[in-house]
Amino acid sequence: MANFDVAQLAHVEMFTPKLEESLNFFTKILGMQISARQGKSVYLRSYEDFYHHTLKLTEGKEAGLGHVAWRASSPEALQRRVESLEKSGQGIGWIDGDLGHGKAYQFYTPDGHKQEILWDVEYYEAPEDQKTLLKSRPQKRPLNGVPVRRLDHVNLMCKDVAKNRQFMDEQLGFKLREHIVLNDNTEIGAWMSVSPLVHEVALMNDQTGSEGRFHHIAFWYGYPQHLMDVADLLVENNIKIEAGPGKHGVSQAYFMYVFEPGGNRVELFGDAGYLIFDPDWKPIVWHEDELEKGIIWYGSPLPTEYFLYGTPDVSSKVLVKE
């Protein structure tokens, strides 16, 4: 039983072919803070993220996911998960750590997304001029852009959603909160969490048939007005908004999807969503004939590209399966 062994999404590494432009986007428009630079990587966090970083941007040939890191609930929980992962055959092995955290155990999802689990983290310490009297806030609210508050979740494209959903459940204790099941019983989307959030991870069918691609990273505002405010800044600064603001039926999120200059999709999450406290939650099943409202409850529709584009981009390489 992996229940309660994973506590939270700790950080995400993303590759970008345009490091400085990506940085500009995350710092000037989303108000994120740089914690450190090392080699080809820059470490960033939102102003209410407590750890050293929640986003590691690494220069790469093409956009895509580096890895997803989960924090275990305790050193013992970490040990339990590693033992299980080793047996699963999906394990890669321990790394010594990185800036901002200690040793971590790395592994692949069945689809091939690199992930890691860790316990030791370094807490962010604000410099004197950024210390705030609001003691649950690790630093002052930034003066630049419309600052995101915290990392929320990742969405991973999968060739086989069901298999990866089962892995996240069995190996890491993620509970299935909502999923989309077609009439032929194919599962094409799954929203899973280890906390009352509806998801720290979503798994979504890759209609191109590719494996291990990245759909999006989501940062949380919690205030609908902030989506309007940042949309204004995005349009003024030539950042492409793919869709939104709008409200999903699935997960109830008030969303906006944008492309950071490196090509990765970023979701900006504009309300509180709903929270699941019921310990006996029965996963919500969205059937084919319920999908219209499930995908868009109201507001901006999603373009076809939303279901096909992921990073790395394969649009020039594959034909869409009909």
Query: Which residues here bind a second copy, judged by CB under 8 A?
Result: 4, 7-9, 28-29, 48, 50, 71-74, 132-137, 140-141, 143-145, 149, 178, 195-198, 222-226, 228, 231-237, 241, 244-247, 249, 251-252, 254, 271-272, 274-275, 277-279, 284, 286, 290, 293-294, 297-301
Beta carbon nearer to a second copy, 110 or 244:
244
Beta carbon nearer to a second copy, 151 or 157:
151
Q: Where are the beta strands (DSSP E) in 17-125?
A: 33-38, 41-45, 55-59, 64-72, 91-95, 104-108, 114-118
Shortest Å distance, C-beta 212 to a second copy: 26
The DSSP string of 125-138 is ---GGG--S-TTSS
Distance CA 220, CA 160 (A): 28
Beta carbon nearer to a second copy, 91 or 224:
224
Shortest Å distance, C-beta 196 to a second copy: 5
Shortest Å distance, C-beta 60 to a second copy: 27
Shortest Å distance, C-beta 321 to a second copy: 27
Beta carbon nearer to a second copy, 278 or 322:
278
Beta carbon nearer to a second copy, 196 or 209:
196
| Residue 153 parent element (H or E) | strand 150-158
Task: Specify burial of residue 159 (Cβ count, 10 A radius: 0-12, 13-18, 19+).
Answer: middle
Shortest Å distance, C-beta 103 to a second copy: 16
Distance CA 208, CA 80 (A): 36
Shortest Å distance, C-beta 152 to a second copy: 10
Beta carbon nearer to a second copy, 9 or 19:
9
Shortest Å distance, C-beta 219 to a second copy: 14
The DSSP string of 186-229 is -EEEEEEESSSSS-SEEEEE-TT--SS-EEEEEEE---HHHHHH
Contacts 24+ apart (CB under 8 A), 100-106: 100/11, 100/35, 100/36, 100/43, 100/51, 100/52, 100/53, 101/10, 101/11, 101/51, 101/52, 101/69, 104/69, 105/78, 105/81, 106/67
Beta carbon nearer to a second copy, 96 or 129:
129
